[in-house]
A and B are shown apart, each in its own frame.
Chain A
């Protein structure tokens, strides 16, 4: 029975051009001794012949037209929905463009204002720095003058003390010292 099953598989494959020479030889050998497989083979031929010659109706013109109409209807529907989509997209695009312009304008204005303010601040800072430097310089000069005045005052005070001490000292000691008024003027001018 297994041999018959294999043989029938080979017979079908041979009729379908799916088998080789070896299958043909094996099948021929089997058919020679097996009436059941010979009957199978004959039935297969008869069924194939009847099926091949069976009349095949054709698609009716109405059905053919229905196919074409269906496609045209789908095409029209697709075009309509595409147009709708496109107009929606355009509307959205217009709004989006306006929004983008508004945002860009605002950003530019902000940049301009900020730029101008920044420049002003920078100028003002520079002027303030210059003023601070001038004030600092003036202060330094004033301090230096004050220090000089103090030094001069201290010096005069010391000189006055010295003159006073000289006046109270002996005449011999006073002779070795320069004349008071002249020397004082000279010292002052030298100083």
Chain B
């Protein structure tokens, strides 16, 4: 199975081959899990998202056509699930007073470091960055995670998100600006500490 391409494996999956599906799971599980982890910074959400994405892939196997890259197709499923879950959460929040309606609004208030006057460990900075990414508005967060963490080109991100390439660029710049604001309390640590 190692020698098969993703598309060949999907062709086998379409014939109910579970071992081919296991191989795809082995190949893409870290990437999909990482995608959800970076979007949510929450293990349970990331695991649920990963499980649901692969289940959706299995259910959609008959409709799969190898017209583009398999990874793009898989991340589209993951993105759709993420947005679907966010919509459900927002609907629940809408019933609460003072619910935010702006999709570009940050999801939560940024967390400030509890003690910035002590030496900041690299691990703390990494966690702060992960948290800050998870707090970006979802439209910006998706673009940031897909370009920065998944290493996708603007064109690929545009395909996944079904939006123009120019929008990807402008959202990416906006995401970086928001991250700078969110990480303002950590600025000294960011520039002072390297990976440990």
A residues sitting closer than 8 Å to B (CB atoms) are: 8-9, 12-13, 16-18, 40, 42-44, 46-51, 53-60, 63-64, 66-68, 70-72, 74-75
Q: Would you list 22 pairs from A and B whose C-beta atoms are within 8 A, ordered by A residue?
A: A8-B173, A16-B153, A18-B154, A18-B169, A40-B176, A42-B191, A43-B176, A44-B176, A50-B125, A51-B133, A53-B122, A55-B126, A56-B37, A57-B43, A59-B30, A59-B50, A68-B18, A68-B22, A71-B21, A71-B58, A74-B58, A75-B16
> Are the C-beta atoms of A16 and B154 separated by less than 8 Å?
yes
CB within 8 Å: A-B pair count: 104
Query: Inside 8 A of A72's CB, which chain B residues have their CB?
Result: 18
- Alpha-carbon gap, A60 to B30, bound state (A): 10
Task: Give bound CA distance, A51 to B38, whole Å.
Answer: 9
Q: Given A18-B154, A56-B37, A68-B22, are A50 and B176 neighbors across the interface (CB < 8 Å)?
A: no
Partner of B147, one of A16, A54, A57: A16
Name B's interface SS: helix
Give the top 5 A-B pairs by smallest Cβ distance, nearest first: A54-B126, A46-B190, A63-B47, A50-B129, A53-B195
Query: Which residues of B are found within 8 Å of A75, using beta-carbon distances?
Result: 16, 18
Contacts of B176 in A (CB 8 A): 8, 12, 40, 43-44, 47
A54 CB contacts on chain B under 8 angstroms:
126-127, 129-130
Describe A's contact surface by its main secondary structure: helix
Given contacts A71-B55, A74-B59, contact A50 B169 (CB under 8 A): no
